Amino acid sequence: MAAGGGVAPLLVRGATVLDGTGTDGVAADALLRDGVVAALGPGLPREPGVAVVDGTGLVLAPGFIDMHSHSDLYTLVASPDGWRVGDDPKLLQGVTTQVFGQDGISMAPVGDHDVDAYADYVAGLDGFLDPAAWTWRGVGEYLDTLRRRSATRVAGLVGHSTVRRLVMGMEARPPRPEELEAMRAAVDRAMREGALGLSTGLVYAPAAYASTDELVALAEVVAQHRGRLFIHVRNESHLVLEATEEALEVARRSGVHLHYSHIKTAGQANWHRVGQMLEMIDDYRRRGVVVTCDIHPYVAGSTTATVLLPPWILTDGPPGALRQLADPAVRARVRTQLLEDTTSWDNWWVFSGGWDGLRIAGVSQGSPNTALQGRPLGQLIAAAGVTDPLGPAGFDVLFDLLVQERLQMSLISFNNIEGNIARFIGQPFCSVGSDALVNPGGHPHPRLYGCFPRVLRAFVREQGVLSLPEAVHAMTGRAAAAIGRPELGRVAVGAPADLVLFDPQTVADRATYEAPRTPPTGIQQVWIGGRTVAQAGRVLAPAPDQPSAPALPVGSGEGRP
């Protein structure tokens, strides 16, 4: 079905149009017809039978693009209102496009023999879906499934860890020449099937075992397709400069477009390194390396709890790690690394400031520990009667919980400051990504419901870090250019009618760490392909005979959502 087919035309009258280019807004009307912006300008005539939306005092902008989504599986799970669990929170924020397959972990390709184990492997980061529901094996099949069922437009990355596991399992060693060629072939196949590019997360096993040369070899394939390399760098804390240089060198050597995921310097000891990072990136950009990035506007992040385990314990995957955690000697070794080691791995315990900087966000399905969600680990250790939280008993509380949850647990980590967020978000190559784990039964990070309105409230209206046109540009036109689909980030005649209408004076995030599922205010209406998908804080169910999101062409290169 063509985008917008069967959707009644609509006239948005009298809004201030911010077209996604960063230029000042202009008062105009916009006619939405056949899935696109059919006319744009002041005083457009109202045609018979065309509904009118009053945009007076409101801003009409391109729909926001979530450059770092973790709704990969939950976008396939129906919510009570008829949309998808992973999409509803994004629609309420004005998001119309999401980029999946982040941090080196995508939902495809996966081998027939590995579906059950792989579903468990991804659960801590991207949620759990019954293996029987994994009807796909290849990237193309998965993307087709997403595009049939997602409420938003989607772009998909193929994951480095996913490809490595497919070829080598979880082994902590360099690939043999034939294995490297098999990985390159898998990436090439994924690109031909419509992947936007390759993602890697160099803190997550098995991508953590890869050398720089391996990254270059895979990135070369992506560059041949004019794709993108999304990278969660090897270290965001004490070795963040070295990790940033590695990423930049991979891009220089391979010729790939580098997209630096959720850019930051984590931990108080590293907050001063922002200037050096930006100087390094600017130097490579002057030398012709294409670099973009995204950021989320919060001082805390969130991820799978396996980041609290050094990579060596995960060489046999979650089952092997669980077996090892039964050994007191292994626990003692991990505890020592958590307390002392900030160079051989990215130590989340240290850069989160210890126990009190870490909270439980989500636990496994059917867990008896749901009441622990939202609570700081330090609080749990104290409640267990431990008098020395840094002693073995304190760490045993963590290890016991990880075992009980089969490692399918997620965390919130406080590790950043707003001043550094402001410096990064003001860069001309920076866009916005929620990086939000869905945790439908848990206590997610507030960015799941608040990311994009928070930018407009905190960094535009309150702090003045960005002007309103600049912020809209970062979340739309700049992001769309970074994924090679500039038309998705513009309000222009002929462009897709993926739009958000919001009140610039009241738009705000309301989700907090204590009440993370509180929807934002000020987002009046959201359209995808001219179809209303959210209105006045409520997600609207699609018509039964309509696809959830309008179709777009599928193809390799230029990363088509």
pLDDT in tens, 109-164: 999 999 999 999 999 999 999 999 999 999 999 999 999 999 999 999 999 999 99
pLDDT at 365: 86
Query: Residues 402-461: pLDDT tens digits?
Result: 999 999 999 999 999 999 999 999 999 999 999 999 989 899 999 999 999 999 999 999
Q: Element (H or E) spanning 301, and its range?
A: strand 300-304
What residue segments make up the domains of the chain, in order of their start? 63-299+416-487, 308-413
Query: Residues 211-255: pLDDT tens digits?
Result: 999 999 999 999 999 999 999 999 999 999 999 999 999 999 999
Query: Residues 459-474: pLDDT tens digits?
Result: 999 999 999 999 999 9
Residue 560 confidence (pLDDT) above 70: no
Q: How far is CA 355 from CA 369, 392, 432, in A?
A: 18, 14, 28
Residue type, 121: Y
- CA–CA separation, 346 vs 119, rounded Å? 25
Structure tokens at 538: 């409520």
- CA–CA separation, 328 vs 217, rounded Å? 40
Q: Is the pLDDT higher at 178 or at 78?
A: 178
Residue 558 confidence (pLDDT) above 70: no
Query: Residues 37-64: pLDDT tens digits?
Result: 999 999 999 889 899 999 999 999 999 9
Q: Within a 10 A sphere around the Cβ of 388, how many other Cβ atoms?
A: 9
Q: Within a 10 A sphere around the Cβ of 48, how many other Cβ atoms?
A: 4
pLDDT classification of 78: cutoffs 50, 70, 90 = confident
pLDDT at 291: 98
Query: Do the bridges between strand 228-232 and strand 257-260 make them parallel or antiparallel, or are there none, so unpaired?
Result: parallel
The CATH code that applies to domain 63-299+416-487 is: 3.20.20.140
pLDDT classification of 100: cutoffs 50, 70, 90 = very high
- Which of 81, 65, 75 minimizes the C-alpha distance to 150? 75
- CA–CA separation, 109 vs 442, rounded Å? 28
Query: What are residue 10's DSSP bridge partners?
Result: 32, 51
Q: How far is CA 513 from CA 287, 299, 373, in A?
A: 42, 11, 11
Residue 555 confidence (pLDDT) above 50: no
Question: pTM, whole model, 2 decimals?
Answer: 0.95
Residue type, 102: Q
Query: Do the bridges between strand 410-414 and strand 300-304 make them parallel or antiparallel, or are there none, so unpaired?
Result: antiparallel
Residue 554 confidence (pLDDT) above 50: no
